Amino acid sequence: MTSPLIDRLRSLLPPDAVVTEPDALAPGGQDMSRSAPSGVAAVLVRPRTTEQVAEVLRTADELQVPVVPQGARSGLVGAAAAMEGAVLLDLSRMDRILRIDAVDGVAVVQPGVVIADLQRAAAAQGLFYAPDPASADRATVGGTIATNAGGMRCVKYGVTRDAVRSLEVVLADGTVVRTRPATAKGVAGLDLTSLIVGSEGVLAVVTEATLALLPAPGPSRAVAGTFRTVADAIAAAGTIAAGPRLPSTLEFLDGVALRGVRIVLPEIPLPADATAWLIAVTDVREGAEEDLESFAAAFRDHGAITVARAEDPHAVEDLFAARRALNPALTAVRGGATHGDLAVPRSQLPALVEGAAEIQSRLGVEISLAGHVGDGNLHPTIVFDPSDAAEAAAARQAEGELLALAQTLGGTVAGEHGIGTLKLDAIAGELAPRILELQHGVKAVFDPKGILNPGRKLGGI
């Protein structure tokens, strides 16, 4: 296959960095949502250097061809799915950890580094990279920056943005710039670094990141409990959230999720009357005993049926088995399961639970509200029989109503998975028209020809 675009790219990049065979292009068409809108891209490029990324963008900008930056494509909202006629810009070959420095407390890395690899490299030096999305074994630094990824440890350590000190990026026209010096503090400019974090590839392409590392925490210890009602579990989580001891992780499963867990992991002991499950983890070096006792007291005060403790990381992983099995468990219930993501202020979780129950009974669907309860960030899932068109339609309807409910409660339709294309329509429910206008204005400043992931992330107008 040939075209002015492909000829130019072939002249600029090594032969193996320019791929046009349809079979090789096809895997890049989708992300983990498996359902996002996508089109047939013109070419896949696999640069190894910042200069090569710059050449690609210079070419695309001049020819006005859309560019879709891609990492591991483990996203769930279509932000990295292929686009008709586009250049797929695969950054996974830029996978070097360039520096880890304990005195500065930073890692300098390329965007294709897998999060779990970075975590291990930091740990080998007694350091800690806090962001820990569920996809850490696959997700890349670039993708997690593009989505401002969250995960299990945000309740204590914050989100990816909180770990990003400085970025080297390539702008739409191929200019390479560093957003700011990589000092711990610095206020010389507007915070373009945070602006690019979470921008899902519409503002610039990250080619190097300076990330903050922390001293390694202590070993994980945890308390898990079961409850007769979701309300009891949510109340216990609220007591912990409002209390003096911050867990490093605070996760929740509801009755629908537990039904699935009983199917896929029947060996996990769960009381017959348990319809909710909670785990609170601590990773402090000292005071773990006091933390666990405080969490357990909150569980007991809110009527926990069982309270189990895990005194070392292996035992914590055992307790966590139910949570880690969430996705297969939910699929096991009725064969099909949606992937949800929303967040509300923690004080609104009881109202969210009530509202979801109302939607459930009115639409005749089954909703699971499991997720990162410590952040108010749940992943509501509707389980349904995929062979039943009416059930599938009701599931979609319920999904939309849950997002609208979150917005009514002062929340968001995107806690940590992003907007991509799948949630573009929902944005207007929570961001004012002028905020949307400002965002499109900022996009035009960074990318006047609109070549970077066009039509994604920014909805509403």
Cα–Cα distance measured from residue 174 to residue 167, given in angstroms and rounded to the nearest whole number? 15
Which pair of structure tokens corresponds to residue 341? 């993501």
Looking up tokens 């004080």, which residue turns up? 347
Binding mask 30-69 for a copy of itself (x = CB under 8 A): ----------------------------------------
Q: Applying CB under 8 A, which of residues 48, 73, 161, 221 lies at the interface with a copy of itself?
A: 161
Q: Which stretch binds a copy of itself (CB under 8 A): 45-53, 257-265, 312-320, 405-413?
A: 405-413
Q: Which of 181, 188, 143, 151 is nearest to 165 (CA)?
A: 181
Cα–Cα distance measured from residue 87 to residue 312, given in angstroms and rounded to the nearest whole number? 47
Binding flag, residue 123, a copy of itself (CB under 8 A): no
Q: Applying CB under 8 A, which of residues 29, 37, 158, 455 lies at the interface with a copy of itself?
A: 158
Return the exposure string of 37-71: e unless at least 16 CB atoms fall within 10 Å of the residue's CB, then b.
bbeebbbbbbbbebebbbbbbbbbbeeebbbbbbb
DSSP secondary structure, 142-186, as one string: HHHHHHT--BTTHHHH--GGGGEEEEEEE-TTS-EEE-S---SS-
Binding flag, residue 132, a copy of itself (CB under 8 A): no
Binding flag, residue 343, a copy of itself (CB under 8 A): yes
| Minimal distance, residue 347 CB to a copy of itself, in Å | 4
Cα–Cα distance measured from residue 124 to residue 130, given in angstroms and rounded to the nearest whole number? 14
| Minimal distance, residue 181 CB to a copy of itself, in Å | 5
Asked whether 340 and 379 are in contact (CB, 8 A), the reply is yes
Cα–Cα distance measured from residue 254 to residue 245, given in angstroms and rounded to the nearest whole number? 24
| Minimal distance, residue 442 CB to a copy of itself, in Å | 6
Handedness of CA 209, 212, 213, 217 (dihedral sign): negative
Q: Which stretch binds a copy of itself (CB under 8 A): 22-30, 116-124, 321-329, 409-417?
A: 409-417
| Minimal distance, residue 248 CB to a copy of itself, in Å | 13
Binding mask 371-390 for a copy of itself (x = CB under 8 A): -x--xxx-------------
Q: Which amino acid is at 22?
A: P
| Minimal distance, residue 278 CB to a copy of itself, in Å | 15
| Minimal distance, residue 211 CB to a copy of itself, in Å | 13
Task: Provide the total of helices (H) and of strands (E) in the chain, helices listed first.
Answer: 15, 21
Tell which positions 13-32 bind a copy of itself, by CB under 8 A. none
Contacts (Cβ under 8 Å, ≥6 apart) of 360? 366, 367, 398
Binding flag, residue 410, a copy of itself (CB under 8 A): yes
Cα–Cα distance measured from residue 88 to residue 41, given in angstroms and rounded to the nearest whole number? 7
Q: Applying CB under 8 A, which of residues 50, 52, 70, 148 lies at the interface with a copy of itself?
A: 148
Q: Applying CB under 8 A, which of residues 154, 231, 304, 333 lies at the interface with a copy of itself?
A: 154
Q: Applying CB under 8 A, which of residues 92, 110, 119, 199 lies at the interface with a copy of itself?
A: 199
Q: Applying CB under 8 A, which of residues 104, 311, 388, 425 lies at the interface with a copy of itself?
A: 104
Q: Applying CB under 8 A, which of residues 22, 126, 335, 364 lies at the interface with a copy of itself?
A: 126
Q: At what angle do helices 230-242 and 349-363 cross, to 10 degrees?
A: 160
Q: Which amino acid is at 280?
A: A
Tell which positions 224-243 bind a copy of itself, by CB under 8 A. 238, 241-243
Tell which positions 250-269 bind a copy of itself, by CB under 8 A. none
| Minimal distance, residue 305 CB to a copy of itself, in Å | 23
Binding flag, residue 345, a copy of itself (CB under 8 A): yes
Long-range Cβ pairs for the range 175-181 (8 Å, 24+)? 175/54, 176/50, 176/51, 176/54, 176/207
Q: Please, which residue, 150 or 260, has the CB nearer to a copy of itself? A: 150
Q: Please, which residue, 270 or 378, has the CB nearer to a copy of itself? A: 378
Q: Applying CB under 8 A, which of residues 427, 451, 452, 453 lies at the interface with a copy of itself?
A: 427
Contacts (Cβ under 8 Å, ≥6 apart) of 401? 359, 363
Q: Which stretch binds a copy of itself (CB under 8 A): 110-118, 157-165, 301-309, 361-369?
A: 157-165
Cα–Cα distance measured from residue 114 to residue 179, given in angstroms and rounded to the nearest whole number? 22
Q: Which of 42, 33, 23 is nearest to 423 (CA)?
A: 33
Binding flag, residue 285, a copy of itself (CB under 8 A): yes
Tell which positions 82-101 bind a copy of itself, by CB under 8 A. 101
Q: Which of 89, 101, 92, 211 is nearest to 145 (CA)?
A: 211
Tell which positions 208-227 bind a copy of itself, by CB under 8 A. 214-216
